Structure 1
């Protein structure tokens, strides 16, 4: 029987973030590997994601795009996995705060740095991240004092943040600060993270064979 969850991704894309999340929730899913190029921009796929980008998740008639949104959706969809604090709990505030921080200011600051784009002097108030230094300092302050985003509890926010920092450290767009490296090492040691990594690396190897 086909799974209700169908995941559209590419092994060398942000799709690896939500792929890890799928492994964390432990529910059956089907993977549709899309190559970059015409197939990803086709009318058939744009009916799922009008942006013509991955990742995308189809759950029956529901479609979710954007890696952070997929992580949040899956955490709520499968509460038995324990990957999101319940509404009303104090940890929920940290969970939402840093999930959106990673998907907003951190993403913007990292991409701007990678492209060599600088905020014009006196215009930092116009951009969500303000400055790269402020963004990284805020994140470092969190990780110097907390094992995970929600204290001792791992959550979907750590899937997204751990992935983002991992990529940033790998490609040099994030400073190699001890708090960042220790956090990424903890995140990447999770069995679900390792399974997702192996799945994607196997797909890359298969396409090169």
Structure 2
């Protein structure tokens, strides 16, 4: 079986996929792109017409898998060769919750973060910074579901670390890096510290950073 190819930008949502691969012990061909790739690596559009990252390619030609959603890729890598402890199977305790929090991570939590970043950071010269900060408040209010779920729990589902934690955890990691941490509850900051202390997370982060620095050094 050939290695899946993962195209991503360092510290982007693709970190979920890199992290999941490290946790699952799946060897991937990691290819770091400059951000934003649609402008700085236009050749990538031949691989993904959306110009977005991550992109996972697993298998040759039309018969191979091609995936562009970070949470789906993380689940796929955790179950690529059968269910592992990183995923929760149908019929297992907390299966519904596992599905719910995995989807909740991007649809409800990361979404307002990306709007905040666009209007308040990347395009603040367009006069939409106020709208960006409104989405920041939306993000902080939407954390209540995760906060309540983790009361008395170390992880979100089935008393173990799963892809749901990777997906939700990334949103908290992103909050710290883009200036949204002030509204994150202390309990979720402690949860984030537990997640980022994991050896597989450190390997994933450092692997992406190593390629990012090499890319920048080469112009």
* Coarse TM-score class (shorter-chain normalised): 0.7 to 0.9
Aligned counterparts of 1:111 and 1:53: Cα–Cα separation in 2: 13
> Which residue pairs with 2:87 in the alignment?
84
Instruction: Give the one of 58, 66, 70 matched to 1:67.
Output: 70
Distance, in Å, in 1 between the alignment partners of 2:138 and 2:202 is 33
Tell me the distance in 2 between the aligned counterparts of 1:57 and 1:154.
Answer: 23
Q: Which runs of 5+ in 2 are unaligned?
A: 120-129
What is the TM-score with the length of structure 1 in the denominator?
0.82
Q: Measure the CA separation in 2 of the matches of 1:131 and 1:163.
A: 17
Cα distance, 1:149 vs. partner? 1.2
Of residues 191, 202, 208, the one that matches 2:199 is: 191
Partner SS, residue 193 of structure 1: helix
Cα pair distance change 1:191/1:41, threshold 3 Å: same
Q: Which residue of 2 aligns with 1:15?
A: 14
Flag structure 1 segments of 5+ consecutive residues without an equivalent: 121-129
Aligned to 1:41: 42
* 1:135 and 2:142 matched: yes
- Cα 1:113–1:53, aligned 2, differ >3 Å: closer, same or farther? closer
Closer, same or farther: CA 166–86 of 1 in aligned 2, 3 Å = same
The size of the alignment, in residue pairs, is: 198
1:117 to 125, 131, 155: 131
Q: Return closer, same or farther for 1:140/1:52 CA change in 2, 3 Å cut-off.
A: same
Q: Distance in 2 between matches of 1:30 and 1:132?
A: 33
CA distance in 2: counterparts of 1:33 and 1:119, whole angstroms: 30
Tell me by how many angstroms 1:112 deviates: 4.1
Q: How is 1:154-165 mapped onto 2 (pairs within 5 angstroms)? A: 154-165=161-172
| Aligned position for 1:205 | 213
What is the distance in 1 between the residues matched to 2:47 and 2:104?
A: 26
> What is the DSSP-based 3-state SS (H/G/I as helix, E as strand, rest coil) of the residue aligned with 1:58?
strand
Q: 1:125 maps to which residue?
A: none
